[in-house]
Structure 1
Amino acid sequence: MSSVTAADYGWIRSSSSSSLFRYALEVGYTLTLVRGVSPTAVFGSVRAEPRGVCVGLGELVEEHGEFLEDWDDWPESSLVGAFTVPGDGGDWTLVLDLGGDLGTRPGFMAALSVGTRAVSHSSNGGKPMHFFHWYENGELRTTFESDAVRTGSTPDDLNALIGEVGLNPHGDDAPDVDRKAAVFALTERLTGLRVTEELLRDAEYRLGEVPEGPAEEWQGVTIDITDAHGERTYVRVERDQL
């Protein structure tokens, strides 16, 4: 098994001009990995409109900027790039949705993972909301925003891996650990796929325009408050508890 940790993903915060992933962190993104499902099948499952091909993350960022210019207000769809790369158990499709929520849609992820595994993580850009999802054969096994507050059918199954990549499933994370880098490392532990700056920079992306997803029936609410003294209160209340 891979021994990757958060330290192996320090490149996502690089100040170098080549660190194009900084754009994804700024505008928001979802990065989804699914085993054994082609980009064509992924796009077909969400009725994405094909938008051609681009080479490299730099071109994808340019395409995304032009895509946003076509909308007078906030777009009602998102531009998604996908390509296939080897990982544990065969080929995986990597789907990068800039500014969109594709990898956080429960219906899409459940259907995508039937008979296989799908893992996604995301950020909504300016607001401090970062999610992780692990699906196995149509079932949401573990999901979290704070790694110490997990839900899913098996919320504790990843506790050992969460600790090994640098997080703390039982309390506050160490202040010097980059939580986003740690989530990249956790994703690699589950997929065997190392996402590098070079991989994203040089890949040939198949592009698709994904329509806005249907409204999902809400399942619960999260209360996340930090007071003036830096004390954080984080509570997840499920719908059946209300």
Structure 2
Amino acid sequence: MPTYHDYLWLQPYLDKRFAFGYCAAVIPGRSPAEVLSLLGAASSHSDSDMHLEAVGVAEVGEVELDLADQAVASGLGSLHVIAVAAIDGDDTLLIQLNGGSFAVTEALMRPLLPDREVVAHSLSVNADSQFIWWSNGERVAAFELFGSGPVIGDERVADLIWEVGGIGIDDDAHNEPGEHAVEGAFALTERITGMAVTAELFEAGPFTVAVVPGEGRTLQVDRPAAPMQNPPSQWREVARRYKAAERIPLHGMMFKARPPGGRPSAELEFWFKPRTCMRLADDEGVLFLQNRQKQTWFRTDGVLEVRSGGYSLDIHITQLLQIHRTWPDARFADLLPPDTAGRAVEVNGRRAWEFEMPPDWAGLDSTVAFDEETGIPLRWKNKTCTHEISELETGIDMGDGFFTGP
């Protein structure tokens, strides 16, 4: 029988991915596709495509935030962004990060509850917590994970809490009671539903991240009257295209030029697959790999070796491809007035719009040229160096194995 000890592998997620709160639910006997359909998610083939893929919980939180931004920009009304994954065949894990509470809101979960045992639990950034058990559509038990309130409902839950441990009454705890409350919640969920959430699922399982409407609503998109409402050279349109380009697989050459007297300039061939897959090559072959789990390989003495540090790259392609990180304290779309017009330029045969950017985190002024078609940054220039992309290919098909070393 599972106890909280079987879920101690969750600890790294509590410190990182769950740090801003989470909610999760296990829904037996319903596939992820069925769950999304019952919740009223937009069809993955519809005009309002509100589905994205994520591998492992490490990506789920970032993809949920991106999809929420995309949904707002598309004019959707009241909405929630959730992620679902198959546990074992036709059973589903529903999870929401970044402070969501969808799974413990009965009005939202109601379509999933009839004719089965459904369990949900949550923890907020303020340490507010809930555990709820529904049986055949009726709430039969509820309590707080840290034991600060009574167990309401089915008396069987009190015995199960003692058996799994960790939930506010952890006999093994040497600090405060409930220090393993989340691990205990997952163990108790398994005891009730019979469905085990595994470390492998959290690490590398395929999740679908989707937009679902609020209670009693359907997804409605306020479409612009014309296909292009904003001039393509204006910052609001360029910033929108840049955001959408974060999901495009890329291949090309990147050149980094430095002023005379500085370090030598460098050039690398790159492959990039959102969100974290990177492959870099020089004249001697593959130099660097990073896969979706952020495992890295670096070439040393002609051999690719697993490395978590201790290597030096002449070019960090994310400095250009994810250039919004250069202004960490500001929303990228708000860096310039929305009607600011870019200057028409050409970068290695591609038309682009170039903008004078505000000082970055280091206080440096710069110019950035964004591809007219995709919004991808093609050139970034400041007084210390110039990054530039050439021979750009977009939307190429690359399997995850292409970014994993020996």
Does structure 2 retain, via aligned residues, the 8 Å contact 1:109–1:138?
A: no
Does structure 2 retain, via aligned residues, the 8 Å contact 1:109–1:118?
A: no
1:43 is aligned to: 36
2:198 is aligned to: 196
Does structure 1 retain, via aligned residues, the 8 Å contact 2:23–2:121?
A: yes
After superposition, the Cα gap between the structure-2 partners of 1:116 and 1:200, relative to the gap in structure 1 and judged at 3 Å, is same
> How many percent of aligned residue pairs carry the same amino acid?
28
Point out 4+ residue stretches in structure 1 off by more than 6 angstroms: none
Are positions 1:13 and 2:7 aligned together?
no
SS of equivalent to 2:90: strand
Matches within 5 A, 1:51-130: 51-67=51-67, 77-86=79-88, 91-98=90-97, 99-124=99-124, 126-130=125-129
Post-superposition offset of 1:28: 1.5
SS of equivalent to 2:66: helix
After superposition, the Cα gap between the structure-2 partners of 1:172 and 1:198, relative to the gap in structure 1 and judged at 3 Å, is closer
Matches within 5 A, 1:134-173: 134-145=133-144, 146-147=146-147, 149-152=150-153, 154=154, 156-167=155-166, 173=170
After superposition, the Cα gap between the structure-2 partners of 1:211 and 1:26, relative to the gap in structure 1 and judged at 3 Å, is farther
- Name the structure, 1 or 2, with higher relative contact order (CA <8 Å, separation 6+): 1
- Between the aligned partners of 2:211 and 2:68, the Cα distance in structure 1 is 12
Are positions 1:186 and 2:188 aligned together?
yes
Cα shift readout 1:114-166 (whole Å, capped 9, x = no counterpart): 01111111112x211111111110010111115461123x2x12222111111
- Between the aligned partners of 1:167 and 1:29, the Cα distance in structure 2 is 18
After superposition, the Cα gap between the structure-2 partners of 1:37 and 1:178, relative to the gap in structure 1 and judged at 3 Å, is same
2:151 maps to a residue whose letter is: R
Does structure 2 retain, via aligned residues, the 8 Å contact 1:166–1:182?
A: yes
2:199 maps to a residue whose letter is: E
Does structure 1 retain, via aligned residues, the 8 Å contact 2:52–2:67?
A: no
**Relative to structure 2, which stretch is displaced further, 51-60 or 24-33?**
51-60
Post-superposition offset of 1:102: 1.4
2:401 is aligned to: none
Post-superposition offset of 1:57: 2.2
After superposition, the Cα gap between the structure-2 partners of 1:165 and 1:64, relative to the gap in structure 1 and judged at 3 Å, is same
Q: Which has the higher helix share?
A: 1
Provide structure 1 residue ranges, at least 5 long, that are not aligned to the other structure. Answer: 215-242
Does structure 2 retain, via aligned residues, the 8 Å contact 1:110–1:135?
A: no
- Between the aligned partners of 1:157 and 1:190, the Cα distance in structure 2 is 10
- Between the aligned partners of 2:106 and 2:3, the Cα distance in structure 1 is 27
Does structure 1 retain, via aligned residues, the 8 Å contact 2:115–2:135?
A: yes
Provide structure 2 residue ranges, at least 5 long, that are not aligned to the other structure. Answer: 43-49, 217-406
After superposition, the Cα gap between the structure-2 partners of 1:143 and 1:35, relative to the gap in structure 1 and judged at 3 Å, is same
- Between the aligned partners of 2:21 and 2:213, the Cα distance in structure 1 is 17
- Between the aligned partners of 1:111 and 1:203, the Cα distance in structure 2 is 25
**Relative to structure 2, which stretch is displaced further, 191-200 or 30-39?**
191-200
SS of equivalent to 1:208: strand
- Between the aligned partners of 1:113 and 1:69, the Cα distance in structure 2 is 29
- Between the aligned partners of 1:139 and 1:197, the Cα distance in structure 2 is 30
1:217 is aligned to: none
- Between the aligned partners of 2:6 and 2:105, the Cα distance in structure 1 is 28
After superposition, the Cα gap between the structure-2 partners of 1:209 and 1:106, relative to the gap in structure 1 and judged at 3 Å, is same
Cα shift readout 1:193-236 (whole Å, capped 9, x = no counterpart): 2223321121111221133447xxxxxxxxxxxxxxxxxxxxxx
Name the TM-score, length of structure 2 as normaliser: 0.44
After superposition, the Cα gap between the structure-2 partners of 1:163 and 1:6, relative to the gap in structure 1 and judged at 3 Å, is same
- Between the aligned partners of 1:109 and 1:78, the Cα distance in structure 2 is 12
- Between the aligned partners of 1:22 and 1:167, the Cα distance in structure 2 is 17
Post-superposition offset of 1:38: 2.1
Does structure 2 retain, via aligned residues, the 8 Å contact 1:121–1:133?
A: yes
Structure of higher CA gyration radius: 2
- Between the aligned partners of 2:205 and 2:57, the Cα distance in structure 1 is 7
Tell me how many residue pairs correspond in the alignment: 197
1:26 is aligned to: 19
Post-superposition offset of 1:36: 1.1
SS of equivalent to 1:91: coil
Cα shift readout 1:60-98 (whole Å, capped 9, x = no counterpart): 2331343455569xx953321112122xxx731111112
CA-atom RMSD in angstroms: 2.7
